[in-house]
């Protein structure tokens, strides 16, 4: 709770509202005639980086209430993140309309030089890697060398009026850079919430331990159950756990904004642990162990050992996944294979017997899959409501008709890389259509706009700062 003002309990349903929020909602009351005449407005075209004048929409909050919004268009975020988890969190906020100002050192964030790269794209500076280009769309970009006192002063000036500061430095680093602890930052900027993303959290015995994807998957519980029963565990590919951590950070940031507006009246410090985010996604395994004391072991191509057939199988042109759990699904599978007599086979008559005799069952199912292609299996499975899915390559995912029909992938015109197809937002708001995605900023692209127009520095001062290596 903030020191200056305490929230009051609302007479309506016991909801806890800050006094300022109560006044805000009271100001949003409209007459029935005004409500009837209100029509949602749709924002169209590319966003201009600094105007903030995007069109709002109206959403009904309850009897007599409307709130004007264009998602997060009134939110300003200062982004001190790097690599994956932090930039992904702020990318999602930018995707929902927040003004995100990415702060990099003058030599650029390390992800700029990570692949993939595009041959012949004109990236002569080598600072337009595919990872950076994807994770930093819709952001503004400035450069500051925070080792300089003047740069730290400029950062603090940027925080005046900001709603969120998101960082993923090692714990304690931000305090060294700003000479302010998280508590002192929040006291100086009462409306600001600080979102700190770190490997293991801001405290605990492993707080300062190093982390990479190998460590994150292993310590998060993902590695142990993956692989063949008699072989060593396998690390899942990619950096999925870091993206999950970024997702939790974006959700936490919006929770902090909500709490500030409707409960606390001020910002707060949000502590996001990548390890805990990874463990949170293992809820099935952790809860199962608590109930049964049984640890999920490696089962190879099978999902797990149990009274069901959930397995990955080779087929004529690749692989397919089969989910056969219920008696009805087994009946459908038997009929699809032209073996209806299997449902009367004493070895497979119940789910338990199918588990006991799973090797014998697989010896029947596997040759059938090998003799057919994925399209046939998928089509015949759908006819029978049998969960059966082709396992596509990434190239095939890009061409999947379902994603095309919903225009999920978006083509971004990058000034250096040219046209890039990137994943869009996996959610849709009925209140308005999304605006076209802006490409990731070039290094220091918005220095003049932010430092000059917003902080009031003239061209001579900006030139001096550039020559000193401060920006």
Among candidate residues 330, 362, 391, the one where a domain is terminated: 391
Q: 268 lies in a domain?
A: yes
165-169, 226-230, 301-305: segment of lowest average pLDDT: 301-305
Same-domain status, 176 and 324: no
The whole-angstrom separation of Cα 305 and Cα 279 is: 22
pLDDT (0 to 100) of residue 280: 86
Give 385-425 pLDDT, tens digit per residue. 999 999 999 889 988 899 999 888 888 888 888 888 888 88
> Half-sphere exposure of 96 toward its Cβ, with a 13 Å CA cutoff?
20
pLDDT (0 to 100) of residue 51: 34
pLDDT (0 to 100) of residue 45: 33
Q: Is 454 helix (H, G, I), strand (E, B) or coil?
A: helix
Ranges of beta strands (E only) in 18-117 are 57-62, 65-69, 76-80, 99-104
CATH number at residue 361: 3.30.1540.10
pLDDT (0 to 100) of residue 55: 29
5-9, 280-284, 365-369, 437-441: segment of lowest average pLDDT: 5-9
The whole-angstrom separation of Cα 361 and Cα 354 is: 7
Average pLDDT over residues 414-439: 82
Using alpha carbons only, give the angle 19, 23, 27 rounded to the nearest 5 degrees. Answer: 170
pLDDT (0 to 100) of residue 188: 96
Q: Which domain holds residue 162?
A: 76-281+435-467
Q: Is 173 exposed, middle or buried (0-12, 13-18, 19+ CB in 10 A)?
A: middle
The whole-angstrom separation of Cα 128 and Cα 133 is: 6
In the block, tokens 């100086």 appear at 188
Most confident of 109-118, 189-198, 418-427: 189-198
Q: 315 lies in a domain?
A: yes
In the block, tokens 């268009």 appear at 73
Among candidate residues 391, 426, 453, the one where a domain is terminated: 391
Expressed in angstroms, the distance from the first to the final Cα of the chain is 37
46-50, 123-127, 334-338, 361-365: segment of lowest average pLDDT: 46-50
The whole-angstrom separation of Cα 348 and Cα 337 is: 15
pLDDT (0 to 100) of residue 436: 81
Average pLDDT over residues 110-137: 80
Instruction: State the chain's mean pLDDT as an integer.
Output: 82
Q: 147 lies in a domain?
A: yes
Percent of the chain at pLDDT > 90 equals 53
Same-domain status, 320 and 203: no
Average pLDDT over residues 112-132: 76
Same-domain status, 191 and 334: no
41 has pLDDT over 90 = no
Q: 267 lies in a domain?
A: yes
Specify the number of domains making up the chain: 2
State the DSSP string of 219-267.
HTTSSTT-S-TTS---PPSTTHHHHHHHHHHHHHHHHHHHHIIIIISS-
Of 351, 395, 443, 471, the C-alpha closest to 111 is 443
Same-domain status, 91 and 201: yes
Average pLDDT over residues 181-189: 95
Q: 67 lies in a domain?
A: no
Q: What are phi and psi of 294, to 5 degrees?
A: -100, 130
The whole-angstrom separation of Cα 333 and Cα 342 is: 10
16, 20, 21, 23: CA torsion to nearest 10: 110
The whole-angstrom separation of Cα 462 and Cα 471 is: 8
pLDDT (0 to 100) of residue 70: 63
Same-domain status, 329 and 264: no
Q: At what angle do helices 240-259 and 85-95 cross, to 10 degrees?
A: 50
Same-domain status, 274 and 319: no
Q: 345 lies in a domain?
A: yes
pLDDT (0 to 100) of residue 173: 94
Average pLDDT over residues 446-451: 96
Same-domain status, 253 and 333: no
Three-state secondary structure of 198-228? ECCCCCCCCCCCCCCHHHHHHHCCCCCCCCC
CATH number at residue 238: 3.40.50.10540
Q: 237 lies in a domain?
A: yes
Same-domain status, 314 and 269: no
Same-domain status, 232 and 368: no
Cβ atoms within 10 Å, residue 45:
8
87 has pLDDT over 50 = yes
302 with 366: CB under 8 angstroms?
no
pLDDT (0 to 100) of residue 125: 63
Tokens of 172: 């304690």
Same-domain status, 264 and 374: no
282 with 221: CB under 8 angstroms?
yes
131-135, 221-225, 342-346: segment of lowest average pLDDT: 221-225
87 with 121: CB under 8 angstroms?
no
Q: 34 lies in a domain?
A: no
Q: Name the band, by pLDDT with cuts 50, 70 and 90, for residue 15.
A: very low
Q: Name the band, by pLDDT with cuts 50, 70 and 90, for residue 293.
A: confident
Same-domain status, 126 and 265: yes
Among candidate residues 374, 391, 408, the one where a domain is terminated: 391
Same-domain status, 257 and 336: no
Q: Name the band, by pLDDT with cuts 50, 70 and 90, for residue 270.
A: very high
The whole-angstrom separation of Cα 184 and Cα 180 is: 6
pLDDT (0 to 100) of residue 146: 94
33 has pLDDT over 60 = no
The whole-angstrom separation of Cα 86 and Cα 79 is: 8
């Amino acid at each position: 709770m903030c020191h200056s003002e305490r929230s009051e309990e609302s007479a309506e349903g016991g909801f806890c509202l800050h006094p300022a929020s109560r006044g805000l909602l009271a100001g949003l009351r409209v007459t029935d005639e005004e409500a009837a005449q209100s029509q949602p407005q749709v924002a169209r075209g590319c966003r201009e980086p600094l105007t903030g004048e995007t069109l709002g929409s109206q959403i009904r909050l309850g009897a007599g209430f409307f709130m004007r919004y264009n998602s997060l268009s009134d939110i300003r975020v200062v982004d001190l993140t790097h690599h994956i988890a932090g930039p992904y969190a702020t990318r999602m906020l930018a995707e929902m309309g927040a003004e995100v100002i990415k702060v990099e050192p003058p030599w650029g964030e390390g992800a700029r030089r990570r692949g993939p790269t595009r041959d012949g794209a004109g990236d002569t500076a080598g600072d337009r890697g595919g990872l950076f280009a994807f994770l930093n769309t819709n952001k503004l970009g400035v450069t500051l060398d925070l080792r300089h006192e003047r740069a730290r002063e400029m950062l603090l000036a940027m925080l005046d009026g900001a709603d969120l500061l998101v960082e993923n430095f090692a714990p304690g680093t931000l305090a060294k850079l700003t000479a302010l602890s998280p508590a002192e930052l929040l006291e100086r900027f009462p409306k600001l919430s600080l979102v700190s993303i770190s490997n293991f959290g801001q405290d605990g015995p492993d707080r300062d331990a190093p982390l990479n994807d190998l460590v994150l998957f292993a310590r998060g519980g993902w590695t142990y159950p993956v692989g063949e029963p008699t072989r060593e565990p396998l690390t899942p590919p990619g950096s999925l756990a870091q993206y999950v951590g970024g997702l939790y950070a974006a959700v936490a940031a919006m929770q902090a904004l909500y709490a500030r507006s409707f409960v606390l009246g001020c910002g707060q410090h949000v502590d996001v642990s990548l390890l805990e985010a990874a463990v949170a996604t293992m809820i099935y395994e952790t809860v199962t162990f608590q109930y049964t004391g049984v640890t999920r072991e490696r089962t190879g191509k099978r999902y797990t050992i149990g009274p069901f057939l959930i397995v990955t199988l080779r087929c004529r042109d690749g692989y397919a996944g089969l989910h056969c759990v219920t008696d009805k699904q087994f009946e459908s599978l038997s009929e699809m294979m032209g073996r209806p007599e299997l449902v009367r086979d004493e070895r497979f008559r119940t789910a338990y017997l199918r588990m006991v005799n799973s090797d014998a069952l697989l010896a029947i199912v596997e040759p059938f899959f090998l003799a057919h292609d994925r399209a046939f299996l998928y089509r015949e499975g759908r006819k029978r409501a049998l969960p059966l899915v082709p396992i596509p390559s990434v190239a095939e995912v890009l061409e999947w008709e379902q994603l095309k029909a919903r225009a999920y992938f978006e083509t971004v015109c990058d000034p250096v890389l040219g046209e890039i197809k990137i994943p869009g937002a996996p959610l849709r708001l009925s209140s308005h259509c999304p605006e076209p995605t802006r490409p990731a900023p070039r290094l220091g692209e918005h220095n003049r706009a932010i430092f000059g127009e917003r902080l009031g520095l003239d061209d001579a001062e900006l030139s001096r700062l550039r020559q000193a290596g401060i920006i």
